[in-house]
Amino acid sequence: MNLLFAATELSPYAKTGGLADVLAALPAALRQRGHSVACVLPLFRSIRETLPELRLTDLILSVPLGAGLQSARIWEGRTDRDVRVFLVEKEEFFDRTYLYGPPTGDYTDNASRFFFFSKIVPLLARHIRPTPQILHLHDWHTGLVPAFVRSERLPFRTAFTIHNLAYQGNFWGLDFPLTNLPTAYFSPAGIEFHQHINCLKAAIVFADRLTTVSPRYAEEIQTPEFGCGLSDVLRERRYKLSGILNGADYSRWDPGRDPVLPAPYSASNPAAKQLSKDRLAKQVGWEPFQAPLFCVISRLTEQKGIPLVLDAAGELQKEGGRLVVLGEGDPGLEERVRDLARSFPESVAAQIGFDEAFAHLLMAGSDFLLMPSLFEPCGLTQLYALRYGTLPIARETGGLADTIVPWDAATGLGTGFLFRAPTANSFSEAVRKAKAVYQDPSSLQAMRREAMRQEFSWEQSAESYEEIYRRLIE
């Protein structure tokens, strides 16, 4: 099959979250399975600086944007997985420090930026050879593409993946002329949502098939609690909605061949995990220690449950427990994390920002990963943690519930610890259970072995997407 992926992130060239990892891995997995696959992204500054051997094509594409005509040059390159990638160059829109806006908020012209990109995607598809049969679109930044395909009667089928329903691309109704769509599209049956343009709703209404990134999340978003205002729209279209679990990129996340670690280890030979813990302790300024080490590798946002971690900090530090936090996000939460580390330097360390090498060492050296997310569409970090024998302590929601086998006190088996209520007390109780297992070395090793043997490869996910594509083509 001939497939064109459209998104705004692709690891390691443009990344703010898990979307970038999906776009790095899934197209590559499909290409390995014999399909013709290409990706299209805006030519962000970070991509220009990091993607080698970009080639300027002779394509200059022009689309209307309101009353004016806007043009873009098209560049072509190859990712580090040898996937063909097209880049849309429009310097006044995309040559910026941040993808969507600085930490203080979104760019004020994001409507123009991503309406323009969404218009270029189907136009570019008409020039690519072999011609794509399916446009696979990701998150709200490409949400208007299915509407453009439908209104112009273009010969493409569209699949749209919701990575996080909370981010919808809402813009003033006054921006509707920028879409150049027929006026009938700005209605409750179209892209209008409470007098605003809602890009995600546009995709839900007009895409031929919808997917999201775990089976549990596909069910959750049809409920008022998790539907972010769109649960009714999704329930009406549940006939075309599927939940397909994201995969783990084991070519980059595998303790048996991770070059960052002081020594490799595996489920059959786990002893060297302790060497990573010792090196991690030294790197954050501690002497080697024998006590549970908890880690957070996450965006520092309320959705990720970071306030719960901070509220439960006292429980984490009991019996010598220690905590290392790696991430960035909400400035207020960043400062609370810094304050905690300053107050308890002997048991809490923090690195604000993201460091790929340190993330690998932290994953390997920790005993437990904390993911108390209020909601989690899929989550990739817990998949990496399982492979590294770092047992997740997570809320029972979305992809976390789909991928973590909860510890069973009767059998002593499981791959992690789940809790339901999004409260510090419920989270702290899960932490206490994890500590009890840590005090029983045989139980701890049994859980680690079981966790490291779990398999969440992209091969399984690619097969599921293939089935979606086949049905669309048929």
Q: Is 455 helix (H, G, I), strand (E, B) or coil?
A: coil
CA angle, residues 194, 104, 339, in degrees to nearest 5: 125
The pLDDT of residue 470 is 97
10-residue mean pLDDT profile of the chain (474 residues): values are 98 90 95 97 97 95 97 97 97 96 92 98 97 98 98 97 96 97 97 97 98 97 97 98 95 95 94 96 96 96 96 94 95 96 97 93 98 96 97 97 95 95 96 96 95 94 97 94
Residue 180 CA to residue 175 CA, distance in Å, equals 10
Nearest to 160 by CA among 211, 220, 232, 123: 211
> Which residues, listed in sequence order, are joined to residue 418 by a DSSP beta bridge?
394
> Which residues, listed in sequence order, are joined to residue 412 by a DSSP beta bridge?
none
Nearest to 465 by CA among 64, 63, 5, 97: 5
Which phi and psi (to 5°) does residue 286 adopt? Answer: -110, 155
Spatial contact of 371 and 379, defined as CB atoms under 8 Å apart: yes
Residue 401 CA to residue 440 CA, distance in Å, equals 25
The pLDDT of residue 104 is 83
The pLDDT of residue 260 is 97
Domains of the chain (ranges plus CATH)? 2-247+458-473 (3.40.50.2000), 273-452 (3.40.50.2000)
Residue 28 CA to residue 3 CA, distance in Å, equals 12
Spatial contact of 39 and 46, defined as CB atoms under 8 Å apart: no
Nearest to 424 by CA among 253, 307, 256: 307
Task: Using the CB atoms, write b or e for 23-51: b if 16+ within 10 Å.
Answer: bbbbbbbbbeeebbbbbbbbbbebbbeeb
Spatial contact of 46 and 14, defined as CB atoms under 8 Å apart: yes
CA angle, residues 356, 362, 368, in degrees to nearest 5: 135
Tell me the Cα Rg of the chain: 23
The pLDDT of residue 412 is 87
Spatial contact of 452 and 389, defined as CB atoms under 8 Å apart: yes
Q: What is the DSSP letter of 14?
A: B
> Which residues, listed in sequence order, are joined to residue 327 by a DSSP beta bridge?
352
Spatial contact of 247 and 456, defined as CB atoms under 8 Å apart: yes
